[in-house]
Structure 1
Amino acid sequence: KKPLAKMIESNKNMFTRIYPAGDRVGSSNYNPDPSWEGGSQLVALNLQSFDTSTLKNAAKFRDNGNCGYILKPLALRSQGYPETTVTLKVNLIGGRNLPRGTGKHSSCPFAKISVEGCKEDQKSYTTKEVKGNGFNPAWPDCMFGFTVTKAYCATLLIDIYDQKTTTSVTDAGSSTKKAVGGVGVGSLTGIGKAGMSAVGTVVASGASVAPAGLGDSASRGLATRLARCAIPVSTIQNGYRVMKMHDRNGQSK
């Protein structure tokens, strides 16, 4: 906590840039959350890799039109301004036209809903699987909550998996078929007012999926990730919204 507090204070007066270590030989990414938590102004990532880190980064800048800078919260800019703890409540409904695993005629989808950010805020839920229905799966009466102490660096992640698979947890994004589907969130209540939210998802490789619906349980053994999306917790006060989608290269449409 002391190094973090020192980093926050330093970044109130100085400009810091975080970037991958020079001895890295691959295109993997580090987790940007600790740097955002510390108030770093520029957190550089390997954008040629479409992973959780670049997904969260794209979501953070989407509400800024994918250009310019994002103003840091007052807690990271001013003395004596306390951080505000918020309660995020999510009511998951169902899905529509979810992508299938490679070479499959049907899927048994389930959703994992998680918050990533500072260590204290990390939490996840998993829905029950819906047998053989990726077209319009439903997860009725699924509502759960998150207590978020640092909303400015927290991200709500929604991952859709297919339970019926013969491989370990993998990504189903290499197919050349256009994936059309997604997940919708009802009564998504955060810092401000509640409202229905349609969120575009992203298949594992970055191919786009259009809006649709979503749930709670425990982790599974073998599963294939079909689609995913990310929403910055600090922006969940806009009521009705539709998130922009991504193509296979992770570019937003």
Structure 2
Amino acid sequence: RVGRVLGTREVGDSTPLPSPSLYPFTGNEFVQHNTWQLSRVYPSGLRTDSSNYNPQELWNAGCQMVAMNMQTAGLEMDICDGHFRQNGGCGYVLKPDFLRDIQSSFHPEKPISPFKAQTLLIQVISGQQLPKVDKTKEGSIVDPLVKVQIFGVRLDTARQETNYVENNGFNPYWGQTLCFRVLVPELAMLRFVVMDYDWKSRNDFIGQYTLPWTCMQQGEPAPLTPGQYPSSGCLPNAVLLPLPGYRHIHLLSKDGISLRPASIFVYICIQEGLEGDES
């Protein structure tokens, strides 16, 4: 369902999740189209359950107005809320310059240089006062783990998680380092999710926090010492020392309500370029 009104292209999605087939043009053509016309995307009327699509892929193509079913909480709304967290939720965020250049060569499915790739190191250190999932069950204690997700262009989409800590929601300690390589950081979103491990069924949600990559505050790199390399195999030139990069991340509920004082304590370090680059 596509219509054109006064230079504005409206697209109603008709698939459960967005994909490149949702675009009315090929990837780069759609990016160039959105440098001089407005595109409004909205959930299809077939979504009778008020479900949402992931807005990230539409932002990757430069769409200016991506409507959501705001009444439905979940991953998609977490990404949407996180995206606009960078400007206090006022509703407007300036697109990266390569999505505003009418001669842009950017293709969301095939990002290539001159985009400045970056390597992200996150040391998930500890948690504080995590709430119980089943408050009706006396003596219930969570077995928390932390999942870190990256959303952006398809090649950057990734997730990693820590081990779980048994029976400790008050002050669990993980001390694990996760490593991510991101080609287009200007479009990347970072999501921290704390889950309650359950060996019998799906893990239960405890809390989350989502923010744009460009809003992260970080520390300075320093040499690694033996035994501090992350298990992912990424060999960074940084070590997690007590420098400006330690942050308490205060968790939000599924509905975006603060769960204070529940938080996780992390260290964040970002390096220019990808590990293994010769340049």
The letter for the 1-side match of 2:67 is A
**Pair 1:124-2:159 in alignment:** yes
**Pair 1:59-2:82 in alignment:** yes
1:150 maps to what in 2?
184
Structure 2 SS opposite 1:8:
helix
CA contact (8 A) 1:87 1:191 kept: no
Structure 1 SS opposite 2:44:
coil
Q: Point out the more displaced range, 201-210 or 116-125.
A: 201-210
**Pair 1:107-2:130 in alignment:** no
1:84 maps to what in 2?
116
CA spacing shift, 1:165–1:124, aligned 2, 3 Å: same
Measure how far apart 1:182 and its partner are: 8.0
1:218 maps to what in 2?
none
CA contact (8 A) 1:86 1:190 kept: no
Structure 2 SS opposite 1:89:
strand
CA spacing shift, 1:212–1:168, aligned 2, 3 Å: closer
**Which one has a bigger Cα radius of gyration?**
2
**Pair 1:159-2:159 in alignment:** no
Count of aligned residue pairs for this structure pair: 204
Separation (CA, whole Å) in 2 of partners of 1:191 and 1:214: 14
Q: 1:31 aligns with which of 54, 69, 73?
A: 54
| Structure possessing the higher relative contact order (Cα contacts under 8 Å, 6 or more residues apart) | 1
Structure 1 gap segments, 5+ residues each: 173-180, 216-235, 238-253
Structure 2 SS opposite 1:75:
helix
CA spacing shift, 1:204–1:182, aligned 2, 3 Å: closer
Structure 1 SS opposite 2:38:
coil
Measure how far apart 1:204 and its partner are: 3.0
**Pair 1:71-2:94 in alignment:** yes
Q: Point out the more displaced range, 67-76 or 198-207.
A: 198-207
Structure 2 SS opposite 1:63:
helix
Structure 1 SS opposite 2:131:
coil
**Pair 1:20-2:55 in alignment:** no
Structure 2 gap segments, 5+ residues each: 1-19, 106-113, 220-244, 272-279
Structure 2 SS opposite 1:36:
helix
CA spacing shift, 1:161–1:37, aligned 2, 3 Å: same
Structure 2 SS opposite 1:213:
strand
1:213 maps to what in 2?
264
**Structure 2 length as normaliser, TM-score?**
0.65
**Pair 1:98-2:130 in alignment:** yes
Separation (CA, whole Å) in 2 of partners of 1:198 and 1:14: 41
1:201 maps to what in 2?
251
CA contact (8 A) 2:253 2:259 kept: yes
**Structure 1 length as normaliser, TM-score?**
0.71
Percent identity for Structure 1 against Structure 2:
31
Measure how far apart 1:136 and its partner are: 0.3
CA spacing shift, 1:124–1:214, aligned 2, 3 Å: farther
The letter for the 2-side match of 1:132 is N
RMSD: 2.9
1:176 maps to what in 2?
none
Measure how far apart 1:170 and its partner are: 4.7
1:221 maps to what in 2?
none
